Copies of this chain bind each other. A is one copy, B any other.
Amino acid sequence: MINIGVIGYGYWGPNLVRNFAETPGLRLAAVADLNPDALKTVKRRFPAVEVTQDYTDLLNNTSIDAIAVATPVNTHFELGMAALKAGKHLWIEKPMTQTAEEARRLVDEAEKRQKILIVDHTFIYTGAVRKMGEIIKSGDLGDIYYYDSIRVNLGLFQRDVNVISDLAVHDFSILQYLLEEHPVAISASGTNHFPGTPENLAFVTLFYDSGVIAHTNVSWLAPVKVRQILMGGSKKMITYDDLQPSEKIKVYDKGVSFTDDPDEIQQMRVGYRTGDMWAPQLDGAEALKLESEHFVDCIQNSVTPQTDGVLGSRVVELIEAATRSMQNRGETIHIDIQE
């Protein structure tokens, strides 16, 4: 049995606590939060759990094996490092840290201490993203041409992170999961329409050496909510609409083909073909539940998490690079890949 303590019971913490409490192999031991009202809520729902305003109580508690950090981003590094140094396995919310440098230091520390470090990129554990992964890995799409995502809605404006860190973060983690290569350059544009607030709208392009191009359009200022990804390959194409109650993933037997027919060359060299569409049944299990079980498995069997610190670090690198490009109106930022 793995005893786990949770630091932070704000927006996302309650989801962690609820899932950890029901995960076989995990025992929810303690919750820390600065807000006494939050702790009262925990106590009412989980009378057996210890609560405290001082997170060091969790670090000092030798019966606790793992710590989950669900606090604002600017505290992730300090709390995560302290947890690792206290000899705990670490579950950390996304984005992992504010800087890639900090992220790499957490990865190094976890490695040195042989502790599991998982970053909570929940999307990777959804039935939809896992199905996309299966399809791509099977080769059904052929060569990947592009990834094109839109994540827009009205609000919620964040106080301390920009819309790239809040929404594009999902695309960055999904791209790391789906593709076998890393982007080599990035160009982003965006703006904050309200002085003194983080950027609330951004457009980010990622370039890959293979020719893949990826793009994400993120905004807190759209009148309608959209969560849609298009992916095109040389053989098939995928749409993923996360707001559909069913048939979220559709696979289109469509593509382009080249012709040497002189008549057609007159007009264009590329034709296209269309065929059936297929919407596979998706696993409806809650992503956070699967991720919690995966965390247990990683600790018990020394498995590397699917969303490990390396993946989490790369995501932070992309947020940093995209933000820098955005603040320079699209300036190309080259990304250093340290394999």
Residues of A within 8 A of B (CB): 145-146, 148, 150, 152, 154-159, 185, 187-191, 193-194, 196-197, 200-201, 203, 205, 207, 211, 213, 215, 217, 219-225, 230, 232, 237-239, 243, 245-247, 250, 252-254, 256, 258, 267-272, 274-281, 325, 328-332
What are 7 A-B contacts with C-beta separation under 8 Å?
Answer: A145-B221, A146-B191, A146-B221, A155-B272, A185-B329, A194-B269, A277-B278
Q: Of B157, B196, B217, B276, which one neighbours A278 at CB under 8 angstroms?
A: B276
Are B332 and A268 in contact, CB atoms less than 8 angstroms apart? Answer: no
Are B203 and A205 in contact, CB atoms less than 8 angstroms apart? Answer: yes
CB distance from A293 to the nearest CB of B (A): 23
CB distance from A28 to the nearest CB of B (A): 15
Q: Which B residues lie within 8 Å of A274 (CB)?
A: 154, 246, 281
Q: Which B residues lie within 8 Å of A156 (CB)?
A: 268, 272
Cα A197 to Cα B148 in complex, Å, equals 21
Q: Which B residues lie within 8 Å of A205 (CB)?
A: 189, 203, 329-330
- A203-B203, A256-B221, A279-B278 are contacts. A230–B271 as well, Cβ < 8 Å? no
Q: Which B residues lie within 8 Å of A246 (CB)?
A: 274, 277
Q: Which B residues lie within 8 Å of A154 (CB)?
A: 254, 256, 272, 274
Are B281 and A275 in contact, CB atoms less than 8 angstroms apart? Answer: yes
CB distance from A175 to the nearest CB of B (A): 15
CB distance from A133 to the nearest CB of B (A): 17
Q: Which B residues lie within 8 Å of A237 (CB)?
A: 222-223
Q: Of B159, B185, B222, which one neighbours A269 at CB under 8 angstroms?
A: B159
Are A270 and B157 in contact, CB atoms less than 8 angstroms apart? Answer: yes
Q: Which B residues lie within 8 Å of A197 (CB)?
A: 269-270
Q: Which B residues lie within 8 Å of A243 (CB)?
A: 245
CB distance from A276 to the nearest CB of B (A): 5
- A223-B237, A267-B159, A277-B247 are contacts. A152–B258 as well, Cβ < 8 Å? no
Are B190 and A213 in contact, CB atoms less than 8 angstroms apart? Answer: yes
**Chain B residue nearest in CB terms to A155:** B272
**Chain B residue nearest in CB terms to A185:** B329
CB distance from A269 to the nearest CB of B (A): 6
